Copies of this chain bind each other. A is one copy, B any other.
């Protein structure tokens, strides 16, 4: 069984999380937050992580300003969905429904929560019906 590398590693995620918070940033700005009072090599570490994120199409580099500025090209929500799907693939033959079941069972939802959830489901039903013709 071949080993499958992680899509986005923890260190990379730390950078992405910061980009989501701060928006467009330089390597230095990110480094100073992730490694406060960090040495010179930490700068290179963050740079490498950004480079790898760029390779994974999760980050876009703007070479126009100097120093370069980085920006995430993936939204947090997209990554959430990606991870959910990965979990479903490995544990539920790709079906997301069991995840939903566990989440609903596990979380204490108020009556209002349940109602609004039903509303959302109704919306989805309508969308499905209108798009199928």
A: residues with CB less than 8 A from B are 1, 3-4, 10-11, 13-14, 76-77, 79-81, 83-85, 87, 90-92, 95-114, 116-118, 120-121, 124-125, 127-128
A128's nearest neighbour on chain B, judged by CB, is B111
Residue contact B4 to A10, C-beta cutoff 8 Å: yes
Contacts of A13 in B (CB 8 A): 90-91
Minimum CB–CB distance from A110 to chain B (whole Å) comes to: 8
Copies in the complex: 2
Interface SS, A side: helix
Contacts of A10 in B (CB 8 A): 1, 3-4, 90
Contacts of A118 in B (CB 8 A): 118, 121
